[in-house]
Amino acid sequence: MMLDIFIQSLFCFFAVYGIIQMGVNIYNILHNFKLKKDDIYIIITVKNQQETIEGIIRSVVWKSLNNTQSGMVPNILVVDMGSTDETVNILNKLCTEYDFIQVTDSEGYSKILQNLMR
């Protein structure tokens, strides 16, 4: 008799725990569903930043990966505003290393903004 009550109580406990855990998992899925990688962009404008641009971008990537809430890397759009140093070459190298980095100039950025407004 006492063993039956214990087994039933144990069964009820695990059933309730499973339902609560399923609810938590569904909430997490729905909450994270809004935060897609493709929806998040960091836009950086640069001009003649050959000394600092690689460190800035790597810092953004590192901080995004270590963020305890999302741990994802956003897309990075770098707008070159007419650099005359090695900034563009450094950015192109980073683009080949990482598929989430895109580089454009001020004209390309204006076109992107116009397309977004439509």
Nearest to 57 by CA among 48, 46, 68: 46
Q: Express each pLDDT in 24-81 by its tens digit.
A: 766 665 555 443 445 678 889 999 999 999 999 988 888 877 775 666 777 888 999 9
Q: Which of 12-16, 45-49, 67-71, 100-104 is the most confident on average?
A: 45-49
Summary mean pLDDT of the chain: 79
Q: What is the pLDDT of residue 33?
A: 42
Which pTM value belongs to this model? 0.61
Cα separation, 25 vs 84, in Å, equals: 51
